[in-house]
Structure 1
Amino acid sequence: MHIASSTIRRSLAATIPIVVASLALVGCGGASSSSDTGAPAPAATDQATETTAPAEAAQPGVGEVVSSDGWDFTVVSVGAAQEAVGSGALSSPAQGVYVPVTVTIVNTSNEAQFLGSDAVTIVDANGAEYSADSVASVYDQSAIPLGDVNPGITLTGPVYFDVPDGTVPTSVTFTGGLFGGQTVTVTL
């Protein structure tokens, strides 16, 4: 029996470290059960969420409606630069080139509001601001007419900007109030 007992002891001696190591791994997170502590283990994404900064809200873009002081404003498209607006004797040549920006503007207030040439501007990559050219709109029948706009009226058409040749607009701003109301920016 001494031989059998010695063999059992050696077998146990070899097996016990394996069992202890296995139990240690299970206790260190190898496998766990929510019934062990009563609370679920934290998700792996919790730590990543804590270190990630919140994303900035993106500025509205082409085709998105923005509102300002009783107006809804949408940039529809930006056209190619052109040297003049109109044709023949009934045309207006640009000092640089005209960049037409087609917009939709809706008076959402309960009274007539004035839409002036300074209500819509374009901004280039260098931060230069260009106001609308009110003379150019006279030579294009489809242009947004400047002046009083009654409640509920929707206007769609181009607004012309006389800019140096090669200017690439990066955004359009719209200021709703007659005397410097809220300004909204649309990224192009």
Structure 2
Amino acid sequence: MHTASSTIARRLAAAAPIVVAALALVGCAGASTAGSGSPAEPAPAATDQAVETAAPAEEAQPGVGQVVSSNGWDFTVVSVGAAQEAVGAGALSTPAQGVYVPVTVTIVNTSNEAQFLSSDSVAIVDANGAEYSADTVAGVYDDTAIPLGDVNPGIALTGPVYFDVPDGTTPTAVTFTGGLFGGETVTVTL
């Protein structure tokens, strides 16, 4: 009897890998037909799908015509004008070192006290990241330009701000910094 049981044990031991391999093949065949029909692509895990749908969309930067706020100011870029070589006319003009790019904006003092609007409050940025501040002299030669200085509460100013930039510069954004000593900077994409 010992011989018969050892023969059976050897046969079972020899057959076991074949049975395991057969079961594995049956399991793989079932898995490949349950998925997308392609045996090389496993079905995505439920947790992967949840992470993909739960990711928030990237917030878009404000654009032309949208109001942004910073430290008691509302700021809106209305338009960007064509580059020009000078501001003013004839003897009452000033030439640019490069070219002037006028950016028409609306600025509103939303605080309860007068605030100072400086040439450092508004800047333009080009595609290379270079930042250009407003030209204080050019605004003197255009009576529609935003005046720099104290702005009382509730006052809204609309007009161009001039930037002296190298010829060929294309602004990609306008920044506005509210507050006399460097408050929050907001960016408007062009």
Task: Return the TM-score normalized by structure 1.
Answer: 0.74
Partner SS, residue 152 of structure 1: coil
2:76 corresponds to = 74
2:105 corresponds to = 103
Match of 2:92 among 80, 86, 90: 90
> How far does the alpha carbon of each residue in 1:58-111 deviate from its partner, in whole angstroms, 9 at most, with x for none?
010000000000000000000000000000000010000000000000000000
2:153 corresponds to = 151
Residues in 2 aligned to 1:117 and 1:96: alpha-carbon distance in whole angstroms: 18
Partner SS, residue 50 of structure 1: helix
Residues in 2 aligned to 1:48 and 1:138: alpha-carbon distance in whole angstroms: 59
1:187 corresponds to = 189
In the alignment, structure 1 residue 161 sits paired with structure 2 residue 163: yes
Residues in 1 aligned to 2:144 and 2:50: alpha-carbon distance in whole angstroms: 51
- What is the identity percentage for the equivalent residue pairs of Structure 1 and Structure 2? 83
Match of 2:119 among 113, 117, 120: 117
Residues in 2 aligned to 1:63 and 1:46: alpha-carbon distance in whole angstroms: 41
1:50 corresponds to = 51
2:67 corresponds to = 65
* Count of residue correspondences: 145
Residues in 2 aligned to 1:48 and 1:70: alpha-carbon distance in whole angstroms: 43
Residues in 2 aligned to 1:171 and 1:133: alpha-carbon distance in whole angstroms: 17
1:177 corresponds to = 179
Partner SS, residue 137 of structure 1: helix
Residues in 2 aligned to 1:69 and 1:156: alpha-carbon distance in whole angstroms: 19
Task: Return the TM-score normalized by structure 2.
Answer: 0.73
Deviation at 1:50, TM superposition (A): 2.8
1:37 corresponds to = none
2:15 corresponds to = none
Deviation at 1:47, TM superposition (A): 6.5
Runs of 4+ in structure 1 off by over 6 angstroms are none
Residues in 2 aligned to 1:113 and 1:181: alpha-carbon distance in whole angstroms: 12
Residues in 2 aligned to 1:90 and 1:182: alpha-carbon distance in whole angstroms: 36
1:36 corresponds to = none
> How far does the alpha carbon of each residue in 1:97-132 deviate from its partner, in whole angstroms, 9 at most, with x for none?
000000000000000000000000000000000000
Deviation at 1:54, TM superposition (A): 2.1
Residues in 1 aligned to 2:47 and 2:170: alpha-carbon distance in whole angstroms: 43
Residues in 1 aligned to 2:138 and 2:120: alpha-carbon distance in whole angstroms: 14
> How far does the alpha carbon of each residue in 1:19-75 deviate from its partner, in whole angstroms, 9 at most, with x for none?
xxxxxxxxx9xxxxxxxxxxxxxxxx9974532432111010000000000000000
What is the root-mean-square deviation of aligned Cα atoms in Å? 1.6
Partner SS, residue 175 of structure 2: strand
